[in-house]
Homo-oligomer: A and B are copies of this chain.
Amino acid sequence: MSSFSYDLQAEDGAARRGVIHTPRGDIQTPAFMPVGTSGTVKALYTDQVRDAGADIVLGNTYHLMLRPGAEEMAALGGLHSFMNWQGPILTDSGGFQVMSLSKLRKMNEEGVTFQSHIDGSSHSLSPERSIEIQCLLGADIQMVLDECTPFPATHEEAASSMQLSSRWAKRSQDAFLSQPHRKDGQALFGIVQGSTYEDLRRTSADALIEIGFDGYAVGGLAVGEGQAEMLKVLDFTVPMLPRERPRYLMGVGTPDDLVEAVRRGIDMFDCVMPTRSGRHGQAFTRFGKINLKNARHAADPRPLDETSSCPAARDYSRAYLHHLLKNGEILGMMLLSWSNISYYQTLMAGMRTAIGEGTFAAFVEQFKAEQLAGDLPPL
């Protein structure tokens, strides 16, 4: 139990049902990882996250290195104890948020220096420092520092960016293996880049496989290319990845994205969408997306979904949810975040069962039909 491993249990077409074993517990795959940016899956208790069916959550290295700080977190016993989550945690490398959130960035071969978006203080991140931070946080699954190639990129830009990421991946692996804060059973994932170019994705995947990682992520997607383009990239990239390692599609996505990516052989996902949309009044349900702020819900006594196992979706009227959201009540954000995370986990559980039973195609058909049929008719 003190080592990391992936157990592929069933395949149905390209879709895979498996289990990732970690010293902190098993992760049933395909898995959706709720995002706990700053040490909290926003507006949710960890009990709710776990009871909804999540085996693992994600923490953001960028946010946590700024507050409370990596060494400070280690002194407090690490991220698990800090946020009261005993299951596995995956942390990203921090690179993506440095590029999207921080100011005055300067990137070179060594790494990146930047100013905090919170207080303007100066920080730097290199492959080595990112791994050190992730070890100080105590992350069970760590990610190599890479450059998330912006979209669109020319072939030349994407190649140059991908090659930098490959060199950083090697440095990350070296740093990981020699990192004194690393614990038994912690894992490191590589990240395939290469934008939308098949030859670059191939070069990237080959380089990472040559280094050898515990799992492989597909990065640089969900950055504006659209679902059709994303799925095209997955169509040719996923088969490049080792069958015996978990495959993680970073930062994705909508329920339909998850289903389509699982269909193509992806095992892990993370996305802020269920919680962020929840805080803004959007519910994800088997009927599709529902905007609870819409006046048509104001007098509707029906719950979001009476068949849901989540109290938030089952035990409160749409009228009440509408009322809370219109009034800016915190409970509205709490309930919708809870309901959304539960829906995502229920969707993943449904896919896992279907793959195990060899009925994934029928599951997808039913999912699409329900989403297409849309929400209940107004009363």
Contact = CB atoms under 8 A, between A and B. Distances in A.
Interface of A: 38-40, 42-45, 67-68, 72, 75-77, 81-84, 279, 298-299, 301, 315-317, 319-320, 323-324, 326-327, 329-331, 333-334
Contact of A38 (B38, B279, B329, B334): B329
A188 B263 CA distance: 62
Nearest to A64: B323
B68 A38 contact: no
A76 B317 contact: yes
A301 to B, nearest CB: 6
B334 A330 contact: yes
21 contacts: A38-B327, A39-B324, A40-B324, A42-B329, A43-B330, A43-B334, A67-B323, A67-B326, A67-B327, A72-B299, A76-B299, A76-B319, A82-B317, A82-B320, A82-B323, A83-B320, A84-B315, A84-B320, A279-B330, A330-B333, A334-B334
Nearest to A323: B68
Q: Top 5 closest A-B pairs, CB basis?
A: A43-B330, A40-B331, A38-B327, A40-B329, A68-B323
B316 A84 contact: yes
Contacts of A315: 84
B38 A76 contact: no
A317 B83 CA distance: 9
A69 to B, nearest CB: 10
Given A326-B67, A330-B334, A319 B40 contact: no
A320 B45 contact: no
A44 B43 CA distance: 11
A299 B44 contact: no
Contact of A299 (B43, B75, B279, B316): B75
Contacts of A72: 298-299
B76 A42 contact: no
A331 B37 CA distance: 12
B301 A76 contact: yes
A202 B326 CA distance: 44
A44 B330 CA distance: 8
Contacts of A77: 301
Contact of A82 (B43, B67, B319, B326): B319
Given A72-B299, A330-B334, 14 more contacts: A38-B323, A38-B329, A39-B324, A42-B329, A43-B330, A45-B331, A67-B323, A67-B326, A68-B323, A72-B298, A76-B317, A77-B301, A82-B319, A279-B330
A299 B74 CA distance: 11
Nearest to A72: B299
A365 B215 CA distance: 62
Contacts of A316: 84
A67 B67 CA distance: 39
A325 to B, nearest CB: 11
A68 B298 contact: yes
A75 B317 CA distance: 13
A63 B329 CA distance: 13
Contacts of A81: 317
A232 to B, nearest CB: 38
A44 B332 CA distance: 10
A317 B299 CA distance: 42
A277 to B, nearest CB: 15
Contacts of A44: 331
B331 A43 contact: yes
Contacts of A320: 39, 76, 82-84
Nearest to A301: B76
